[in-house]
Structure 1
Amino acid sequence: MKKIITISREYGAGGHSIGKQVAQQLGIPFYDKDILRESVKASGFDTELVETEEEDSSRADSFFRSLCSISSAYYRDSQEAIHDVQKAVILRFAQQGPCVILGRCADEFLREAGIDSVNVFIHADDVHRAVRVSALIGSTNATEIQKLMAKKDASRHTYYTRYTGKKWGDSHNYDLTLDSGTLGYDLCVKLIVAAAQAED
């Protein structure tokens, strides 16, 4: 039985790659932060976001547009507005059936909505992460890589805490916490797929 899977991850731990492979093996949609950003753009709240790749969001266009007919002036700031839109988008995706959703507090949003999901946190040691980040940004500058890793993780921690009241990365908040540096991507994929197919 396939289930909805949420993946939270440290920067450079390979969460995106692992999540995409899980979705491919299960034959279900994979929603990453770029798709969510496109959803926000479609809402009209984030008009300055530049589209960098082609996205197929046609099936949800009417939903996004009706959702965001509310004036953004209603919100205290743009982050609040974007957060609310992303939450609605995530719930909409989840209601459509099994899928893999990357980041953006999806685990807590689904819990609050009473939607069952397998919630995963992927981490790795700094060495493994630095190697991946180096490849991602095309730099071997150790100081630059360390600063970027710290900045990205701090941002994710702050965002998660602000909107869930919980600690990002705390094993108590997830069904699986996997060390991709020790286990390797392939084994992480197998473990997540097995959890998603397990009978209740």
Structure 2
Amino acid sequence: MEEKKLVISIARSYGSGGLTLAKKLGKELNLPVYDREILRMASDQSGISEEMFGQVDEHVRKIFLKAKGKYKGKPLTPEDSAFTSDDNLFELQADVIRQIADTQSCIIVGRCADYILRDKTNVLSLFFYASEEDCLERLRKQVSGTDEELIKRMHDIDKHRAEYYKYYTGRDWNDARNYDFCLDTGVMDYDRLIEVVKSYIEIKNREI
């Protein structure tokens, strides 16, 4: 009997430690973690430079912000004049995310993966967040800059992620109803957070 696949999507606020948690969780569960690797894979498959994907990674250019729910689930072909458009760069990444989820158990970080994979019953969507104070404390250890600069960076990145999510999904990025499980990462250390998440996954995995 084929072993059932488990796909975990992780959305995270900047400074919450979400990527660190994703990597630690991947190590604990022996699952590959996909973050910026998705850009490289989309580049390899499409022939479009990875740099172009990086320019719009979890970021929407201001001129496009009015549209909502732009994800269609069907990338354009190279013959199309809009093949390298921002929207098609997203579609190509989304196609990679679906291919990954179709073939293996894994963890996928950000990039609207929860929405892209919303029709799959074997996907658990997690959202990690923390208070501004807790995020700032974490960022002081990781990023150089004054507290004012770090707070601005935090707000800017979260704003970009929220706009990106809204633009492609039509949903609010920080709405708990979009996710299976939301966790405040400021309430305990990484090891205990991992135990909480693992316990939740074990319970939910019985239902998949």
TM-score (ref. length: structure 2): 0.79
Tell me the residue number matched to 2:23.
20
3-state SS in 1 of match to 2:9: strand
Contact 1:72 1:78 in 2 (8 A): no
* Pairwise CA distance, 1:24: 0.8
Give me the whole-angstrom Cα distance separating, in 2, the residues matched to 1:48 and 1:13. Answer: 26
Q: What's the CA shift string for 1:99-118, capped at 9, x where partnerless?
A: 11100000011114x34211
Whose helix fraction is larger, Structure 1's or Structure 2's? Answer: 1
3-state SS in 2 of match to 1:162: helix
TM-score (ref. length: structure 1): 0.81
Q: For 1:33-48, list aligned pairs within 5 A.
A: 34-42=36-44, 43-46=46-49, 48=51
Structure 1 residue ranges without an equivalent (≥5): 52-66
AA of the residue aligned to 1:160: Y
Closer/same/farther in 2, CA of residues 189 and 74 from structure 1, 3 Å limit:
farther
Closer/same/farther in 2, CA of residues 41 and 72 from structure 1, 3 Å limit:
farther
Give me the whole-angstrom Cα distance separating, in 1, the residues matched to 2:156 and 2:130. Answer: 16
3-state SS in 2 of match to 1:11: coil
AA of the residue aligned to 1:71: P
* Pairwise CA distance, 1:196: 2.5
Give me the whole-angstrom Cα distance separating, in 2, the residues matched to 1:111 and 1:143. Answer: 37
Contact 1:72 1:81 in 2 (8 A): no
Point out the more displaced range, 157-166 or 36-45.
Answer: 36-45
3-state SS in 1 of match to 2:141: helix
Give me the whole-angstrom Cα distance separating, in 2, the residues matched to 1:172 and 1:50. Answer: 29
* Pairwise CA distance, 1:131: 2.1
1:142 to 2:181 alignment:
no
Structure 2 residue ranges without an equivalent (≥5): 55-73
Q: How many residues align?
A: 182
Give me the whole-angstrom Cα distance separating, in 1, the residues matched to 2:97 and 2:116. Answer: 8
Tell me the residue number matched to 2:163.
158
User: Among the aligned pairs, what percent are the same residue?
Assistant: 29
Give me the whole-angstrom Cα distance separating, in 2, the residues matched to 1:92 and 1:76. Answer: 19
1:186 to 2:170 alignment:
no
Tell me the residue number matched to 1:118.
124
AA of the residue aligned to 1:145: L
AA of the residue aligned to 1:6: S
Q: How well do the aligned residues superpose, as a CA RMSD in angstroms? A: 2.5
